[in-house]
Amino acid sequence: MVLVTVREQGESSDSHPICGARANFGSRAVEEQFMTIDKIALVTGANRGLGRGAAIALATRGVRVLVTHRGDAAGAEKTVEQVQAVGGTAAVLRLDISDVSSFASFTSELSEQLERWGASRLDILVNNAGVGIFGPLEDVTIDDFDTVMGTNVRGTFFLIQSLVPLLTQGGRVINVSTSLTRHTSPATSVYSASKAAVEALSRTLAAELGPRGIRVNSIAPGPTATDFNGGAMRDDAEMRQVLAGQTALGRVGEPEEIGDAIATLASEGLRWVTAQRIEVSGGALL
């Protein structure tokens, strides 16, 4: 654990309101609270988009990263290259979170990779992988509904169940949600409902896993320029302009900004935060 250096002070403008002590906020000790050195993270769906952004952000903070993909091996290797470019270490594992029956064999492969790194435990689990199928009520099929719920809710839940035995005491679980659980948009009902369920299970699991010191939180990105949903937010300039006009900070987000938020939430600096939904949207649709 990294301790903040404090010194006794009398009354001052930056004294703690209770103890009257003033932290040396310019110290290296405080900076290191937001590093996560010698930790290992698993980021699902890290072959592109928000998952890649999270992997790189964690790597810049000293975390070794396990990159998973469903079938895009080339994308996963590109993420590894970018992690290495910032001085990090990464490895690739294949994982389809919609295939719950594969989780036992995946867990064995994960354990083998941890052993290759001289470790036996996972410190951080980022559940980023998911799917979005969008359409008005009358167009949504049973298969559409089952695909979204089966991947985003069922897959996320049972992956956590499978990996909790490997999570270290004081580990972190970060589930990626969406700002659409706060505001509404036409044709997003099934996707939004699946992510609302993820937020609910995050709160409940925070209570269940709290005795082990495991923190469980959800990150809710707003409109972000990735290739999700066909890359509309990244490639459609008109859509970006409209959403920028509805966002307090005047633009859509970038993947690295979501990644930085995830990495910060995983750090010791936010060690007292659990069971929370943290929106990272630049103030979208307030």
Q: For this structure, is 170 an active site residue?
A: no
Question: Are 83 and 52 in contact, with CB atoms under 8 Å apart?
Answer: no
Question: Are 129 and 76 in contact, with CB atoms under 8 Å apart?
Answer: no
Rounded distance between C-alpha atoms, residue 226 and residue 239, angstroms: 13
Looking at residue 212, its amino acid is R
Residues 6+ away with beta carbon under 8 Å from 277: 177, 181, 199, 202, 217, 218, 220
Closest CA to 280 of 209, 218, 206: 218
From the candidates 191, 218, 228, 265, give the one annotated as an active-site residue. 191
For residue 176, the SS3 value is strand
Rounded distance between C-alpha atoms, residue 160 and residue 265, angstroms: 18
Catalytic residue positions, numbered: 191
